[in-house]
Amino acid sequence: MQKRFGWVLSLLALAAISCGAKIDPNQIRIGEFGSLTGAQATFGISTDNGIKLAVDEINAAGGINGKTLKVISYDDEGKPEEAAVVVTKLITQDKAQFILGEVASSLSLAAAPIAQQNKVPLISPSSTNPKVTQVGDYIFRVCFIDPFQGQVMADFAMNNLKAKTAVILRDQKSDYSMGLADFFVKRFKEKGGTILLDQSYVAGDIDFKSQLTSIREQKPDVIFVPGYYTEVGLIAKQARELGIMAPLLGGDGWDSSKLYEIGGAALDGCYFSSHYSPESKDPKVQDFVKRYQAKYGQVPDALATLGYDSVGVLAAALKSAKSLSGADVRDALAATKNYPGVTGNISLDANRDAVKPAVVLKISGNKASYVTTVNP
Amino acid sequence: MEGFLQLLLNGTALGSIYALIALGYTMVYGILRLINFAHGDIVMVGAYAGLFTALAVNGPAHPDLFHFFIVLLAAMAVSALLGLFIERFAYRPLRNFPRLNLLITAVGVSLLLENLGQVVFGATPRVFPDIMPSMNWFQFGQVAITNQQVTVFGTSLFLMVVLEWIVLKTKLGRAMRAVSYSHEIASLVGIPTDKIISFTFAVGSALAAAAGILVCISYPKVDPLMGVMIGLKAFVAAVLGGIGSIRGAVVGGFLMGIAESMVVGYGSSTYRDALAFAILILILLFKPAGLFGKYQPEKV
């Protein structure tokens, strides 16, 4: 009896601790959700690193109007249903006032309606599918969108690689991949190119040889694979095994060190578009790369940099907002003009999307190097 | 034509992996009338065992057959032990209860392995070390046969022949067939039923691990949920061939792999997974016992 009573007491104590301790009036609570594990784990981890670096720097510089930023992060394992759960938890239990999150568009789309309903501003650092911000007026992003990214890669294929024919290999379960593929096809056709074949796979597949065999028969100039790095690495490997030498092109979903770990030499001579290149000569970029390397011992990828910029945009809005209420910060965010981010100057348009340049990178020797910048 | 041959080749390599896994389903079903839903997850455990062994013996530095066999045997041993363990502690205590209890337990074991895998190994996919770098061994026009495909096919075929030999030519195999015919009568004539059932689980799980390694050689990605889809497809292959029949499992596996490859190559990849289950439904409609199965009406 005594023993059971002890249990109840300790449970109550635990409940008391977890309810009471978190609300501190001198803190601004920012919720973060991301795939810290799962098939897109490097996206979540990089973004998280970028966010934490920015928050630490802001707090070290005295915070915002005397208040410090506190980040509460949850792992959504790269699953939409999990993203919805943790964002609900962030808003209802952790009382997050603002939310940063998700790289993958499918996951941002799962969480955005919840933030919108609760009138909590949500900034996606790097979801590029246009549908994400169409959810409502509390949803923002600090990256460009897929119509632009698809256009960049289609133009690059035609102008720089002199491609006349292309085939598509898209992930039919991902909003990001489907959208990006559509925009690429549209632009490529408009400019007079021919799409020979439009094939698909499902995230999690491991065998792509059948798709690639029928792609090989078409002898395309380029193959557009707007997927995420795990599958892209396997696809590149199997394509080279089948003797397909056409370059693979892709989007920012490729930007991960894991890509090279899986694909290795098969990726040499492939190109992808991204948000920034650590090789940029811009002192702002070089300075950031140095600070990031000092803290994490690696070169920041695009997602880390966008994570960093998302905090910067939020902090700027918090400073200029009339109050820290959701509605006032929302208005301040919507008015963001020419914020000097590491990934370029960020201005939000009427759709709450950032308008900014994209870079094209070329892979060789397990490294992506800068090729060109394309302005909107 | 070249495209057709290449698709056939890819399908055969994939099919031999399905066949190996299907053998495990069919053996356990033959002897216990149990569909071991955890079988696909044993493939996953085998793949992780192989991954850690390959890292331990520094496999990528020695891409030779010797190291490949070390990795393969280690994975098979680990999975065989796991199979024994699962049979002993999850299935044996329920053997005399209604069969449905056993089936639900199998689903439970499967979920346990998947989630335990995510806790222990993490949900992030790991890259399987390159213990067998891909090389083109033969090239007919555009049709390429790689060393990996030959290894996958050769290893599967070898293991299938060994299994066939054990089941048909050895005393142990005769005992297995006897137990599969009837537990009671087999134990009456002095066959140690428990041991034979354990042995069956060990062999089936070892084959699953071998399949796991073969998957990883061609598709170097290991994650805790990798066994789900591949296990499900192999299960369909086993049913397609006639569950309980060893030849049926092999034929079913190859049919499944080739059909998938052709559908994606000539039709649309959208229907790849749908096809597996469409085949299942069709076979069950027209041949309820599968291609090689014997239809046994329930005795009342």
Q: Using one digit for the tens of pLDDT, what is the confidence trace for B182-219?
A: 888 999 999 999 999 999 999 999 999 999 999 998 88
* Inter-residue contact B38 to B56 (CB < 8 Å): no
Q: Is B268 within 8 Å of A213 when comparing Cβ atoms?
A: no
Q: Do domains A8-144+282-356 and A147-274 have the same CATH topology?
A: yes
The reported pLDDT for the residue numbered B132 is 81
The reported pLDDT for the residue numbered A20 is 46
Q: Is A172 within 8 Å of B270 when comparing Cβ atoms?
A: yes
A37–chain B Cβ distance below 8 A for any pair: yes
Given a cut of 80, whether residue B298 has pLDDT beyond it is no
Assigned CATH class of A8-144+282-356: alpha beta
Per-residue pLDDT band for B19 (boundaries 50, 70, 90) equals very high
> What token pair was written down for B184?
């009671």
Q: Using one digit for the tens of pLDDT, what is the confidence trace for A280-315?
A: 888 999 999 999 999 999 999 999 999 999 999 999
Q: Using one digit for the tens of pLDDT, what is the confidence trace for B86-107?
A: 999 999 999 888 888 999 999 9
Q: Is B124 within 8 Å of A200 when comparing Cβ atoms?
A: no
Residue with tokens 């978190």: A22
DSSP B44-70: HHHHHHHHHHHHHTTGGG--SHHHHHH
Smallest CA-to-CA distance from A363 within A271, A261, A266 is with A271
B63–chain A Cβ distance below 8 A for any pair: no
Bridge partner residues of A170 (DSSP): A200
Smallest CA-to-CA distance from A239 within A290, A169, A188 is with A169
Least confident of B68-82, B152-166, B259-273: B259-273
**What residue ranges do the domains of chain A occupy?**
8-144+282-356, 147-274
Residues of A in contact with B265 (CB under 8 A): 210-211, 213-214
Q: Is A204 within 8 Å of B144 when comparing Cβ atoms?
A: no
* Inter-residue contact B254 to B36 (CB < 8 Å): no
* Number of A–B residue contacts, CB under 8 Å: 87
Which among B123, B134, B264 has the least Cβ separation from residue A77?
A: B123
CA separation for the pair A14, A120 (Å, rounded): 28
Q: Using one digit for the tens of pLDDT, what is the confidence trace for B54-72?
A: 999 887 777 788 889 999 9
Q: What is the share, in percent, of chain B residues with pLDDT greater than 70?
A: 98
Per-residue pLDDT band for B2 (boundaries 50, 70, 90) equals confident
- Which of B264, B271, B272 to mutate to probe the A interface, most A CBs <10 Å? B264
For A18, phi then psi, to 5°, come to -70, -25
Residues of B in contact with A243 (CB under 8 A): 136, 142, 144
Given a cut of 60, whether residue B300 has pLDDT beyond it is no
Domains with residue ranges and CATH for chain B? 2-286 (1.10.3470)
Output the average pLDDT for chain B.
Answer: 88
Per-residue pLDDT band for B84 (boundaries 50, 70, 90) equals very high
Q: Is B124 within 8 Å of A38 when comparing Cβ atoms?
A: yes
ipTM: 0.80
Q: Using one digit for the tens of pLDDT, what is the confidence trace for B34-54?
A: 889 999 999 999 999 999 999
Q: Which CATH superfamily is domain A147-274 in?
A: Response regulator (3.40.50.2300)
Residues of A in contact with B144 (CB under 8 A): 241-243
Identify the segments of chain A with pLDDT beneath 70. Answer: 1-22
- Which of A170, A206, A234 to mutate to probe the B interface, most B CBs <10 Å? A206
* Inter-residue contact A47 to A126 (CB < 8 Å): yes
For B258, phi then psi, to 5°, come to -70, -40
Smallest CA-to-CA distance from A237 within A274, A216, A200, A212 is with A212
**Spatial CB neighbours of B156, under 8 Å, sequence gap ≥ 6:** B16, B17, B19, B20, B210, B211, B214
